[in-house]
Amino acid sequence: MSSRDVVVLSVGGLRFVTRPSTLQRFPESRLARMLSNEDREFKQVNGEFFVDRDGNLFSYIMDFLRTLQVSLPTDFSDYQRLQREAEFYELHALAELLGHEHLLKPRQEILEVRFFLQEAQAFFRIFGSCSSTVEALAEQITVFTDQQSGQSWNSAFPSQKPLVPLPLERPSHHDMVFQCGTEFSAGDQFVARYVSIKPDTRKLINGTNVLGLLVDTLLGDGFRLISTRTVWSGEKVECYTLERMRRPAVAQAKGSQVPKGR
């Protein structure tokens, strides 16, 4: 690429290489005016524009210009300093977004497990504030069905014939519903439902055992149990609320996309 295809900036001792079109995303900004020599504060030395500002914060400025999104680490706290940098460069759209700091901070992720035990069956409903977490959990949980004949209704082990996997009920992107245990069908026939939760390979039919495995799985995934309560005492619906304490390493706090220009 020729020197006309790229622009080199030295900001606070850090070197950035980008396209002119990236710096011109917001024509009224000082970075755009710098390219047309309309802002004399930016001096060019040996083909590089020298900018006496914070180079670390400028990396977030460049990311915003490239993606038109605010993408910050989950532990980021210098919102006011970054807003001040955005105002210096006269990137008003970014400065306005950073003014709504509460919208950019990662929100607390909550997961709620409701458990209802009725005779030989157990019913589960899981609701999560983060749809991607619920989606990932749904891929870990499999319900298998087995038609039993002439066996005890509380048989803890599946029959020798292959079990049939059942799809989970997904009322919305934020929740799922499933059940385990046995129920009477006709004559001496019983339908048994077993639950498997990866990476555990067991197929469990007892609701209390499934609940214990589910909670252990969530604790291993970075959640912590913050409360338990009985929702309806008449039907003994128990509610377990969990909060995520740590996030996957690839997680980032994403902001809203903004229109080009002001």
| E strand or H helix at 169 | strand 169-172
Q: For 174-201, what is each residue's pLDDT tens digit?
A: 999 999 998 876 666 778 999 999 999 9
d(CA 155, CA 217): 25
Mean pLDDT score, 135-150: 87
Q: For 44-82, what is each residue's pLDDT tens digit?
A: 888 899 999 999 999 999 999 999 988 888 778 899 999
Supply the pLDDT for residue 105: 74
Supply the pLDDT for residue 15: 95
* Beta strand 48-51 pairing with 7-11: parallel
- Going from the N-terminus, what domains does the chain have, and what CATH number goes with each? 7-104 (3.30.710.10), 109-149+163-244 (no CATH)
